[in-house]
């Protein structure tokens, strides 16, 4: 079982963020699963400097360790690189396909 917590770094963590992180962390641990921290940094205009650091410190203080972590900016740069290499438009949306060719 894989569960994720996908906050946006737009301010200090609030009770809703922490509740979601806690429930997902508990579910992952109870089911011998993986807890993924996936930072969704898609709204650059509303990004708050230091929000990601505050979130990480709060999760650490609460004892909510994650097994995997990713940041939205890194994925965005990777997608743009693939689009450029494939000669695709910036307006095109790409989604990962996890199915094999025989499943498709």
Domains of the chain and any CATH numbers: 2-71 (3.40.50.620)
Tens of pLDDT along the chain (104 residues) come to 889 888 877 778 889 989 999 999 999 999 999 998 887 766 777 778 888 788 888 888 899 888 887 655 555 655 566 666 666 655 555 555 566 657 65
Q: What is the pTM of this model?
A: 0.63
Query: Measured between alpha carbons, how far is 29 from 61 in angstroms, rounded to an integer?
Result: 18
């Amino acid at each position: 079982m894989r569960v994720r917590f996908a906050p946006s770094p737009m301010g200090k963590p609030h009770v809703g963020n922490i509740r979601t992180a806690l429930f997902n962390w508990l579910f992952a641990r109870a089911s011998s699963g993986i807890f993924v921290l996936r930072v969704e940094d898609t709204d650059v205009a509303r990004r708050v400097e230091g929000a990601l650091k505050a979130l990480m410190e709060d999760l650490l203080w609460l004892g909510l360790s994650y097994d995997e972590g990713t940041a939205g900016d890194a994925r965005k740069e990777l997608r743009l690189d693939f689009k450029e290499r494939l000669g695709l438009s910036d307006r095109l949306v790409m989604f990962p396909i996890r199915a094999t060719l025989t499943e498709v």
